[in-house]
């Protein structure tokens, strides 16, 4: 029969207190403007806290509790309860977020096994909105879905519009929501809406290209790097230019190297130019932006090479040099209104590379530092698994912390033919432990 998720209710959750009149027109930042109009999906899985099976009465009580605490949270994250008025303004009219409740016709173990086997292709069933939905710009900016399994386990799926928030902003929202739900004796989370002060929005004279996912059969695998193996890779990647590479730099360079090796094998030995796009978080890099600055502040820079056999330390040096150049020169251009056309041109060039068959383009993103998912205890205990769900786009690699922060998980999405070579790479398997097929 397969796994079925039946939506039993869909309700609007409005802020617990109305947004003041002077805050009703929220001007988004330039970085929000150039972000794609898609939903960022996330999911948190909780095992049953007791032996009892699914209880509709208790489930209803828990759902009601989460809606009430979300209402309080939305009063602080008030733009998420509004709707886009035009390309640069959100009308904070308190229309609210959407909250869905659902029942699943199986046990959590069929999605996430006791041994950590995760069937990632099923996670989209527990997320309330399609990634490419036009509603990310024309409709609700935040949706949550609470799905109850027969065993008593729970999935909390979330969709947040990328036009207003990045992963760190979603993490801040989740933290605030947890605090309000369980009544923790800690100060509430107050986001800072200061990004537009640094990157003011502009009136574009050009239209941003629409995001359309490349059509190709892809598959995702999860590889776990323990801290001891990461330490080995960091030592191996060190060089005069970068004597102490970060774990993200070392892992990014290593996985990029493995991807290039795969491409060369499947191209009968020929070498394609290879480009990697890596996101960098601007929080705490530019005053006054800090950890609680809300909006899109994670933007990509690129590194490239025409060689497929560069050593790990050479790739790390390349990545560090390109990042430093990006932070020194390109970010400053983003802060000036005159750079809007250039930004759009650069954006279009990046999209062209994603679709190109002449260039291997790999998109890397790290959620190692700023996603506090494994602290998100809504009363069911610590999550069994948490993170961003995958987008079926080729050549995407996402790094996240493991549940106990004793390593890093790499979620690698490649075309099926490439994955067949990549997942048996001996060097890769000497550092990473592959998990069950996703």
DSSP 8-state secondary structure symbol assigned to residue 29: B
Beta strand 218-226 with 274-281: parallel, antiparallel or unpaired? unpaired
Q: Give the neighbor-by-neighbor strand order of the sheet with 298-305.
A: 298-305, 274-281, 360-367, 396-401, 407-415, 218-226, 433-434
| Strand ranges for 249-293 from DSSP E | 274-281
Q: Give the neighbor-by-neighbor strand order of the sheet with 142-148.
A: 5-13, 97-104, 142-148, 154-161, 39-46, 385-388
Catalytic residue status for 336: no
Burial class (CB in 10 A: 0-12, 13-18, 19+), 115: exposed
Catalytic residue status for 377: yes
| Displacement of CA 231 from its chain's centroid (Å) | 25
Catalytic residue among 94, 194, 281, 377: 377
Alpha carbons 77 and 65: distance in angstroms, whole number? 18
Alpha carbons 123 and 108: distance in angstroms, whole number? 11
Look at the block and give the residue holding tokens 């609470």.
Answer: 146
Alpha carbons 357 and 330: distance in angstroms, whole number? 27
- Contact assessment for residue 77 and residue 179, using Cβ atoms and an 8 Å cutoff: no
Alpha carbons 420 and 361: distance in angstroms, whole number? 18
Burial class (CB in 10 A: 0-12, 13-18, 19+), 280: middle
DSSP 8-state secondary structure symbol assigned to residue 402: -
Cα–Cα distances (Å) from 179 to 64, 122, 182, 319, in that order, read 16, 29, 6, 38
Cα angle 407-251-346, degrees, rounded to a multiple of 5: 130
Instruction: Tally Cβ neighbours within 10 Å of residue 203.
Output: 10
Residue 284 structure tokens: 């705490």
Contacts 24+ apart (CB under 8 A), 239-245: 239/313, 239/314, 239/316, 239/317, 241/317, 241/320, 241/321, 242/313, 242/316, 242/317, 242/320, 245/316, 245/320
Alpha carbons 7 and 302: distance in angstroms, whole number? 42
Catalytic residue among 162, 166, 313, 418: 162
Catalytically active residues are 162, 377
């Amino acid at each position: 029969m397969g796994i079925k998720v039946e939506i039993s209710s869909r309700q609007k959750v409005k802020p617990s207190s109305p947004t003041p009149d002077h805050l009703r027109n929220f001007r988004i930042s330039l970085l929000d403007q150039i972000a794609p109009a898609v939903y960022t999906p996330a999911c948190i899985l909780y095992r049953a806290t007791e032996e009892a099976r699914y209880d509709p009465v208790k489930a209803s009580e828990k759902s009601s509790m989460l809606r009430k605490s979300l209402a309080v949270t939305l009063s602080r994250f008030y733009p998420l309860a509004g709707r886009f008025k035009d390309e640069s303004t959100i009308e904070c009219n308190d229309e609210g977020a959407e909250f869905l409740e659902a029942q699943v016709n199986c046990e959590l173990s069929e999605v996430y096994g006791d041994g950590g086997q995760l069937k990632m292709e099923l996670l989209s069933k527990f997320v309330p909105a399609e990634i490419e939905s036009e509603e990310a710009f024309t409709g609700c900016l935040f949706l949550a879905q609470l799905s109850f399994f027969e065993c008593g386990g729970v999935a909390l799926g979330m969709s947040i519009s990328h036009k207003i928030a990045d992963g760190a902003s979603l993490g801040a929202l989740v933290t605030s929501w947890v605090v309000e739900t369980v009544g923790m004796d800690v100060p509430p989370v107050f986001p800072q809406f200061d990004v537009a002060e640094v990157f003011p929005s502009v009136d574009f004279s050009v239209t941003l290209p629409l995001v359309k996912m490349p059509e190709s059969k892809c598959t995702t695998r999860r590889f776990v790097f323990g801290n001891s193996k990461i330490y080995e890779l960091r030592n191996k990647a060190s060089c005069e230019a970068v004597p102490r590479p970060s774990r993200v730099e070392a892992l990014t360079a290593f996985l990029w190297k493995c991807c290039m090796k795969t491409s060369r094998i499947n191209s009968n030995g020929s070498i394609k130019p290879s480009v990697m796009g890596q996101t960098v978080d601007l929080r705490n890099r530019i005053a006054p932006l800090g950890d609680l600055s809300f909006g899109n502040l994670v933007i990509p820079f690129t590194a490239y090479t025409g060689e497929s056999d560069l050593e790990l330390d050479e790739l790390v040096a390349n990545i560090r040099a390109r990042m430093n150049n990006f932070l020194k020169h390109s970010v400053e251009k983003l802060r000036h209104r005159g750079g809007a056309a250039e930004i759009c041109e650069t954006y279009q060039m990046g999209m062209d590379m994603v679709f190109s068959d002449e260039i291997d383009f790999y998109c890397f993103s790290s959620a190692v530092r700023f996603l506090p998912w494994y602290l998100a205890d809504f009363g069911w205990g610590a999550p069994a698994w948490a993170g961003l769900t995958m987008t079926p786009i080729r050549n995407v690699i996402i790094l996240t912390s493991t549940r106990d922060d004793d390593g890093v998980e790499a979620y690698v999405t490649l075309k099926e033919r490439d994955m067949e070579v990549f997942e048996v790479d001996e060097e890769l398997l000497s550092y990473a432990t592959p998990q069950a097929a996703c």
